[in-house]
Structure 1
């Protein structure tokens, strides 16, 4: 993963994670590749990371220790977060929705735990804008989905649009294969404006 990132999308994690603020939840924290990219205020005890794989979670905990990041890294299921409603200012998920069985349930859970006005930060590899690459992605999924649960053609942005989130930033690169989005739930935005 690290080699592919250096070549294909070296700036996505730093740019996206730099936007996090306040109490932050990272869903599918994996081995903790995002940890060095969060702002200092988030890294100082305001970060929670959820990961279903015990092996990856162990690596993330070691990485946090080495980086001096004060984070609560715990086992959990992205599709059914064991967290209260409206408990985080920012929710982050990078390059993981492609491997979560029910990615739409996971996205709904991320929105559920956001506070009013909260920020949803997503990045993933998605269906390409170039047809030859789309053909290759479809062929790869014949093997990758049943063997590893890895989807190459999902588009979290479609779910964001269908669920009427307010998109603040959106970008696709590398022939449309890499996509990231910064969004807020519209109803939460309106409730925040009313409270002002």
Structure 2
């Protein structure tokens, strides 16, 4: 484990290679799993504000779920998460013609319709954060659907923390990321 400020970081973040390979996995992390994407309450509120902006891009089933039960729910572990369609797809998913599952929140951001990228848990994935009294644990969720991302990362020589620079800076700041980069490069087997 590595400590930077009030974070305890798994070495997996700096030792493992990773690049999302949407052409292979087709965005499975937005479809599979036992609950929706973790949210903080401010994100839920922002998403509710954005509904008029993203409404036309939502799947018909997603509109129905949101109308009936809202954009989020509390899962079995007591966490606030995005709502799901039939217990599977996140309500904010859409599919491109090539079958790749993507996020309508990110689409609105990229089209300049919103200043909200997407929930930080989605942007950071496969990193998962867990808040404790006095510190935040920064862990890597290993899942078979991301095996292709590990293979692509190894082939391209990109570490997970490098691939996730943008969301890590978004969550923790530039100075934190610079400290992480220095620590990663100081490891004995670092290139």
TM-score, normalization: structure 1? 0.28
Higher relative CO (CA 8 A, sep ≥ 6), structure 1 or 2?
2
As a proportion of its length, which structure holds more strand?
1
TM-score, normalization: structure 2? 0.28
As a proportion of its length, which structure holds more helix?
2
